Amino acid sequence: MPTTTSSSTKAADTPVAKTAKESIPIAAKKPRTVKAKASTSTQPSLRFYYSEALREKTDTVLSALDTRPSEPGHGEAIADLVTELIDAGMDYYFLKPLKQAEVGFVGEQSARLGISGAVKLLSSVSRKFLTRMDHAQLLVVAKHLRTLAAP
């Protein structure tokens, strides 16, 4: 079984694993760093259109987070907003093409039921995280939402 000791040939603070045959330096843990990401304008993008009313609500919720940071309830407000955005996105990406393809009432209703379940699940999971976030974390989420909403 290897043991951890300091080697006289290595720096005193560099641990090594001693085996019967050789000494192997143990790599120190490196701090995680954020890798540079390509700008959003250089990456492929797939966005959806949403109502003007939802756009106004998005602006209102995100502005309140910026202008009134000490006010409670930002996590709940963003969670509600995310639920509406998920619903609008699912409608745009899945239900709208089904209507256009004229799959029929039963097909549309079946799809709507399945998508409704998915929206509830996604909303529930995202709400659990969003409502527990502190102000700095919510600002990161807000920044991401603004990036998605950019023209």
Q: pLDDT (tens digit, 9 = 90+) per residue, 59-106?
A: 999 999 999 988 899 999 999 999 999 999 999 999 999 999 999 999
Is residue 59 included in any domain, yes or no? Answer: no
Is residue 34 included in any domain, yes or no? Answer: no
Please give the structure tokens belonging to residue 51.
Answer: 């109502």
Is residue 109 included in any domain, yes or no? Answer: yes
Is residue 117 included in any domain, yes or no? Answer: yes
- Give me the number of domains the chain comprises: 1
Range of the domain at 102: 96-151
Is residue 120 included in any domain, yes or no? Answer: yes
Confidence of residue 8 (pLDDT cuts 50, 70, 90): very low
Rounded Cα distance between 138 and 102, Å, is 41
In terms of Cα–Cα distance, which of 46, 45, 121 is closest to 86?
121
Rounded Cα distance between 146 and 151, Å, is 10
Taking the model in full, what pTM does it have? Answer: 0.69
Is residue 140 included in any domain, yes or no? Answer: yes
Q: 54 exposed, middle or buried (CB, 10 Å; 0-12, 13-18, 19+)?
A: middle
Confidence of residue 6 (pLDDT cuts 50, 70, 90): very low
Is residue 47 included in any domain, yes or no? Answer: no
